[in-house]
């Protein structure tokens, strides 16, 4: 207890791990990029930068002093199993690293080890230190596929928060008002809708903000949903007589469907640890429009290069070929450069074999309800063969597929009310809908 | 940190000072009073008891087990300078002691040592441990004029709160919702009026409630303004698997004016450390109605006795004589039994000398604005003397007072526009208002 020091936490007495571990402070900045070039890459794909003029100022002073900026991003300590959506933020951290700045990958294990103290949520179990350590390992395996290991410091806020007393937390909480907390969207909605907010939930943004104080962050990155918490950090740094951090929010990445956000549960994700072939195939499955979004948010290519690719497509280059380049980049990053060619070859031979053209003709054929439609008649009716005898020959040669599965039975009947994808050989397709007579 | 124990503070590991210091647990209860008699005295003057049936139950079980109840009241650690208003609560604690129960006089030094962490209020400086100790001494000097030293334990919540970690405070805060906090009158008003509430202010009622958990309080007493905080204690005890405390609120005592609450700044108080004569005189100055209120809230006399006194007055006894009994009781308690007779005598001789009767006749006399009214003419006009020559004789004998001050100057003139209390000898009074001709 420090009764004589109201209004100030003695955070300097706490370890500031970043400061101690890697003495890269005076290293020359890595990429020889002008401030404008840095800003352009940092701005790329970002949802919001608050305040950009402050960021420019920080970049200029960092350059003048030969001292890198301190970039912070916080991550959940629960079992990480990352997909490309998570790497949007990592990619932006990487951009800072490429310009020689220093990244603090902060694992919020302090609150993770508290879990859900109300005990109401079974989905937020309290983690043990062992679990935190294991999860940090899992993070490391994944994030260093994007981040530069040399310029990244993985820090745990338990390092300073476990040593914080209740009195210090009270002092910390005195720097923010209830009204401002209730301005946060989710708090506001829950409060006005009469859904419970436990008092400790007001303390978590303060803990996150205090992490910025301890790390003396120059910039904090987060998803758009993190904006409020990032602003708390700015505010607290002012209270602790620090220059407030610039905050940078990144958008949520759409999944491979191009509509909903990428998520495991929607099965529209590309996992960081997916096999090379899967990464390649999923990347090739996205729309041309989404491809440009992925280039913006996920590619290491400079924006100028991406603009050049767009120009080529506008002038007639097949977008599929550009997509191949994106897919190759992602496979190289996440599965390894040695996996790229094999993944592409596997995809293309698969593509040759089973690709269903986009313009499959639609045919409607009538059949007796009880009898159904004999398959040879269906093949002829859909004009996939010239005659029933050709149909039978194709069936005999194993050259017929129904809904992707080989079919050799000439007695096979298609039931009325159904719809079937019929294929003869590699190139002939038709979708047949069978109606009752 | 105890990551494996979300939702429960390990408060039992903290010292529970009350439990250790005085082994009065198995002492026989002091007064041989029935549960009904105890309840009647406890109920006396109380604003509210929540829940009375629970209190009865606790009293019965305490009696059956020969174990006293644990009674808690919290006090501010800032410089205590008590007046009778503060002793209303002490008096109720005393009632519990008289029935053999155990009182925890809790000094909230934990928050006192934090002070106003926002640094905005100069009126809440952070106390040093030395100041807390000195203030506790000052308390002791005063409160043991009311409380039984043997059955009182002065405890400091810094004893357990200084050892509390930020993580534990977060767990504690998880047991209460923001919406319920905002139901507290002052929070509600400030929030709706757009006046700031700092987040740490939500933590203080939780700290106070947690004190009840640590002390395993059976009953907590407080002023009516404390009701919300006392209820928080009830709620937290439930979370910590304790039987919830009964809460008892006492009203605010009116000052000697009988209208406003007793306070130093309104100068309508009787101080615990006032000289005997002052206590006696101030007590004698209160109205008959207020006298009964003071008997109810401040007297050690059983209610039956007080009712008997009321009966006597109804049957013609001079209420002044009853007031003397109250004044004597208060002097005995706060200045000491040996001071009582002297204080009463001093008061009465003073009273004999200077008492202004309540029914002083009012007289209005006219005078020339420039000249004013000669004092002898005023005395005659007010019929305090039979003639101007008697007036002059009285002036010569030093028997005349104007506004309480002796006056011997026969040329003294009373200015037009003024009002004067004139006195001749001990018994003759008149209030003369001089108007212009």
CB contact under 8 A, B175 and A115: no
pLDDT of B123 strictly over 60: no
Helix or strand run (H / E) with residue B22: none
Both tokens of A119, joined, read 């005990």
Residues of A in contact with B164 (CB under 8 A): 165-166
Across the A:B interface, residue pairs with CB atoms under 8 Å apart total: 172
The answer to whether the beta carbons of residues A406 and A419 sit under 8 Å apart is no
Report which of residues B5 and A54 the model is more confident about: A54
Q: Residue A4 burial by CB count (10 A; 0-12/13-18/19+): exposed, middle or buried? A: exposed
Residues of B in contact with A191 (CB under 8 A): 178-179
The answer to whether the beta carbons of residues B261 and B50 sit under 8 Å apart is no
Distances A42 to A45, A151, A228, A268, B218 between C-alpha atoms, Å: 8, 17, 20, 27, 61
Q: State the nearest Cα–Cα gap between A226 and chain B, in angstroms.
A: 20
Neighbouring CB atoms inside 10 A of B384's CB total: 22
CB contact under 8 A, A117 and B179: no
How much is the pLDDT for A31?
A: 55
- What CA–CA distance (Å, rounded) separates A180 from A199? 14
Interface test with B, best of A128, A170, A198 (most B CBs within 10 A): A170
- What CA–CA distance (Å, rounded) separates A294 from A287? 10
Tell me the β-bridge partners of A106. Answer: A74, A155
Residues of A in contact with B169 (CB under 8 A): 166, 169-170, 203
CB contact under 8 A, B203 and A198: no
Lowest mean pLDDT of A215-219, B9-13, B260-264, B364-368, name the range: B9-13
CA dihedral B85, B90, B94, B95 (to 10 degrees): 60
CB contact under 8 A, A6 and B115: yes
Both tokens of A4, joined, read 């004589």
Both tokens of A232, joined, read 């708390």
CB contact under 8 A, B197 and A179: yes
Q: Tens of pLDDT along B292-309? A: 999 999 999 999 999 999
Cα-atom radius of gyration of chain B, to the nearest Å?
29
- What CA–CA distance (Å, rounded) separates A301 from A310? 13
- What CA–CA distance (Å, rounded) separates B256 from B287? 8
CB contact under 8 A, A201 and B178: yes
The secondary structure of residue B338, as a DSSP letter, is G
- What CA–CA distance (Å, rounded) separates B327 from B283? 5
Residues of A in contact with B191 (CB under 8 A): 178-179
| Minimum Cα–Cα distance from B7: chain A residue | A117
Pick the closest to residue A21 from A103, A131, A97 (CA basis). Answer: A103
| Minimum Cα–Cα distance from A113: chain B residue | B3
pLDDT of B332 strictly over 50: yes
How much is the pLDDT for A355?
A: 65
Backbone torsion region of residue A425, taken as left when φ is above 0, otherwise alpha when ψ lies between -120 and 50, otherwise beta: left
Place of tokens 């997916």: A274
- What CA–CA distance (Å, rounded) separates A195 from B216? 31
Pick the closest to residue A160 from A199, A108, A200 (CA basis). Answer: A108
Task: State the angle between helix axes of A166-173 and B166-173 in degrees (0 to 180), rounded to the nearest 10.
Answer: 60
- What CA–CA distance (Å, rounded) separates B400 from B406? 6
Distances A134 to A131, A258, B147 between C-alpha atoms, Å: 5, 33, 58
The predicted model gives B342-348 an average pLDDT of: 90
How much is the pLDDT for B173?
A: 94
| Minimum Cα–Cα distance from B131: chain A residue | A3
- Distance, CA of B275 to chain centre: 17
- What CA–CA distance (Å, rounded) separates B340 from A90? 82
pTM recorded for the entire structure: 0.74
Lowest mean pLDDT of A254-263, B54-63, B424-433, name the range: B424-433
Interface test with A, best of B1, B2, B3, B204 (most A CBs within 10 A): B3
- Partner-chain residue, chosen from B128, B164, B167, that has the shortest CB–CB distance to A3: B128
The answer to whether the beta carbons of residues B285 and B291 sit under 8 Å apart is no
Q: Tens of pLDDT along B208-219? A: 999 999 999 999
Residues of A in contact with B113 (CB under 8 A): 1, 3, 167
How much is the pLDDT for B346?
A: 87
Split at pLDDT 50, 70, 90, the class of B310 is very high
CB contact under 8 A, A166 and B171: no
CB contact under 8 A, A179 and B199: no
Residues of B in contact with A200 (CB under 8 A): 170-174
The answer to whether the beta carbons of residues A208 and A229 sit under 8 Å apart is yes
- What CA–CA distance (Å, rounded) separates B75 from B94? 16
Residues of A in contact with B177 (CB under 8 A): 196-199
Pick the closest to residue B383 from B331, B437, B432 (CA basis). Answer: B432
Instruction: Give phi and psi for A329, each to the nearest 5.
Output: -65, -45
Q: State the nearest Cα–Cα gap between B299 and chain A, in angstroms.
A: 40
- Partner-chain residue, chosen from B7, B169, B200, that has the shortest CB–CB distance to A174: B200
The answer to whether the beta carbons of residues A325 and A306 sit under 8 Å apart is no
Residues of B in contact with A162 (CB under 8 A): 1, 165, 167
How much is the pLDDT for A6?
A: 30
How much is the pLDDT for A23?
A: 33
How much is the pLDDT for B356?
A: 66
Can you give the length of chain A in residues?
437
SS3 for chain A is CCCCCCCCCCHHHCCCHHHHHCCCCCCCCCCCCCHHHHHHHHHCCCCEEECHHHHHHHHHHHHHHCCCCEEEEEECCCCCCCEHHHHHHHHHHHHHHHCCCEEEEEECHHHHHHCCCCCCCCCCCCCCHHHHHHHHHHHHHHHCCCCCHHHEEEEECHHHHCCCEHHHHHHHHCCCEHHHHCCCHHHHHHHHCCCCCEHHHHHHHHHHHHHHHHHCCCEEEEEHHHHHHHHHHHHHHHHCCCCCCEEEEECCCECCCCCCECCCCCCCCCECCCCHHHHHHHHHCCCHHHHHHHHHHHCCCCHHHHHHHHHHHHCCCCHHHHHHHHHHHHHHHHCCHHHHHHHHHHHHHHHHHHCCCCCCCEEEEEECCCCCEEHHHHHHHCCCCCCHHHHHHHHHCCCEEECCEECCCCCCEECCCCEEEEEECCCEEEEEEEEEC
Interface test with B, best of A166, A177, A210 (most B CBs within 10 A): A166
| Minimum Cα–Cα distance from A112: chain B residue | B3
Residues of B in contact with A199 (CB under 8 A): 173-174, 176-178, 181, 202-203, 206
CB contact under 8 A, A165 and B165: yes
How much is the pLDDT for A416?
A: 86
Interface test with A, best of B118, B166, B172, B198 (most A CBs within 10 A): B166
How much is the pLDDT for A7?
A: 34
Q: State the nearest Cα–Cα gap between A23 and chain B, in angstroms.
A: 31
- Distance, CA of A66 to chain centre: 32
Q: State the nearest Cα–Cα gap between A213 and chain B, in angstroms.
A: 17
Helix or strand run (H / E) with residue B149: none
Task: State the angle between helix axes of A227-239 and A203-215 in degrees (0 to 180), rounded to the nearest 10.
Answer: 60
Pick the closest to residue B302 from B49, B53, B31 (CA basis). Answer: B31
- Partner-chain residue, chosen from B116, B171, B199, that has the shortest CB–CB distance to A176: B199
CB contact under 8 A, B5 and A174: no
Residues of B in contact with A238 (CB under 8 A): none
Q: State the nearest Cα–Cα gap between B2 and chain A, in angstroms.
A: 8
How much is the pLDDT for A426?
A: 78
Both tokens of A297, joined, read 């948010």
Interface test with A, best of B170, B184, B191 (most A CBs within 10 A): B170
Q: State the nearest Cα–Cα gap between B126 and chain A, in angstroms.
A: 6
Q: Hey, is B275 helix, strand or coil?
A: coil
Residue B356 CB contacts under 8 Å (≥ 6 apart), including other chains: B421, B423, B429
Q: State the nearest Cα–Cα gap between B177 and chain A, in angstroms.
A: 4
- What CA–CA distance (Å, rounded) separates A224 from B369? 83
Both tokens of B69, joined, read 């109840």
| Minimum Cα–Cα distance from B182: chain A residue | A178
Place of tokens 């605010």: B252
Cα-atom radius of gyration of chain A, to the nearest Å?
29
Neighbouring CB atoms inside 10 A of A423's CB total: 24
Lowest mean pLDDT of A84-98, B328-342, B412-426, name the range: B412-426
Interface test with B, best of A4, A14, A167, A241 (most B CBs within 10 A): A167
In tens digits, what is the pLDDT along chain A, a chain of 437 residues? 333 333 333 333 333 333 333 333 334 445 578 999 999 999 999 999 999 999 999 999 999 999 999 999 999 888 778 999 999 999 999 999 999 999 999 999 998 888 777 666 555 678 888 888 888 889 988 999 999 988 899 999 999 999 999 999 999 999 999 999 999 999 999 999 999 999 999 999 999 999 999 999 999 999 999 999 999 999 999 999 999 999 999 999 999 988 889 988 888 999 999 999 999 999 998 989 999 999 999 999 999 999 999 999 999 999 999 999 999 999 999 999 999 999 999 888 876 666 666 677 889 999 888 888 999 999 999 999 999 999 999 999 889 988 777 888 989 999 888 888 898 987 788 889 898 88
- Partner-chain residue, chosen from B167, B199, B203, that has the shortest CB–CB distance to A114: B167
CB contact under 8 A, A6 and B117: yes
- Partner-chain residue, chosen from B127, B166, B198, that has the shortest CB–CB distance to A161: B166
The answer to whether the beta carbons of residues B376 and B410 sit under 8 Å apart is yes
- Distance, CA of A194 to chain centre: 33
| Minimum Cα–Cα distance from A181: chain B residue | B199
Both tokens of A263, joined, read 């998520």
Q: State the nearest Cα–Cα gap between A110 and chain B, in angstroms.
A: 8
Residues of B in contact with A193 (CB under 8 A): none
Peptide bond into B51 cis (omega under 30): yes
- Partner-chain residue, chosen from B116, B170, B201, that has the shortest CB–CB distance to A203: B170
- What CA–CA distance (Å, rounded) separates A385 from A372? 19
| Minimum Cα–Cα distance from B1: chain A residue | A162
């Amino acid at each position: 207890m420090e009764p004589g020091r109201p209004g100030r936490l003695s955070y300097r007495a706490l370890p500031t791990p970043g400061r101690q571990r890697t003495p890269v402070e005076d290293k020359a900045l890595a990429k020889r990029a002008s401030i404008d070039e840095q800003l352009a890459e940092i701005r790329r794909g970002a949802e919001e930068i608050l305040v950009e003029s402050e960021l420019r100022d920080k970049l200029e002073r960092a350059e003048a002093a030969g001292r890198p900026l301190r970039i912070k991003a916080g991550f959940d300590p629960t079992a990480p199993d990352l997909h490309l959506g998570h790497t949007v933020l990592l990619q932006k951290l990487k951009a800072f690293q490429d310009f020689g700045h220093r990244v603090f990958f902060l694992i919020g294990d302090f609150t993770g080890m508290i879990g859900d103290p109300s005990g109401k949520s079974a989905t937020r179990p309290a983690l043990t230190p062992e679990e935190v350590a294991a999860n940090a390992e899992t993070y490391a395996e994944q994030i260093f596929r994007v981040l530069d290991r040399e310029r990244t410091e993985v820090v745990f806020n338990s390092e300073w928060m476990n040593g914080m007393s209740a009195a210090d937390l009270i002092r910390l909480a005195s720097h923010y008002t209830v009204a401002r907390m209730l301005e946060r969207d989710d708090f506001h909605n829950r409060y006005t809708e009469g859904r419970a907010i436990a008092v400790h939930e007001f303390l978590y943004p303060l803990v996150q903000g205090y992490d910025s104080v301890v790390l003396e962050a120059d910039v904090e990155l987060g998803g758009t949903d993190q904006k409020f918490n990032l602003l708390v950090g700015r505010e607290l740094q002012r209270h602790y007589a620090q220059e407030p951090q610039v905050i940078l929010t990144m958008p949520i990445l759409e999944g491979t469907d191009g509509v909903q956000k990428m998520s495991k549960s929607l099965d529209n994700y590309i996992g960081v640890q997916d096999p090379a072939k899967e990464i390649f195939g999923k990347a090739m499955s996205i729309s041309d429009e989404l491809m440009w979004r992925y280039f913006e948010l996920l590619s290491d290519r400079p924006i100028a290069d991406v603009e050049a690719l767009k120009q080529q497509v506008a002038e007639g280059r097949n977008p599929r070929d550009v997509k191949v380049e994106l897919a190759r980049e992602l496979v190289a990053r996440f599965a390894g450069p040695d996996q790229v060619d094999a993944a592409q070859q596997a995809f293309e031979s698969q593509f040759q074999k089973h690709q269903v053209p986009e313009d499959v003709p639609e045919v409607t054929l009538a059949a007796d309800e009880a009898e159904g439609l004999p398959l040879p008649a269906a093949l002829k009716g859909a004009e996939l063969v010239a005659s029933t005898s050709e149909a039978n020959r194709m069936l005999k040669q194993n050259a017929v597929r129904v809904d992707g599965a080989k079919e050799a039975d000439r007695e096979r009947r298609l039931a009325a009310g159904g719809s079937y994808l019929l294929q003869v050989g590699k190139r002939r397709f038709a979708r047949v809908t069978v109606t009752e007579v």
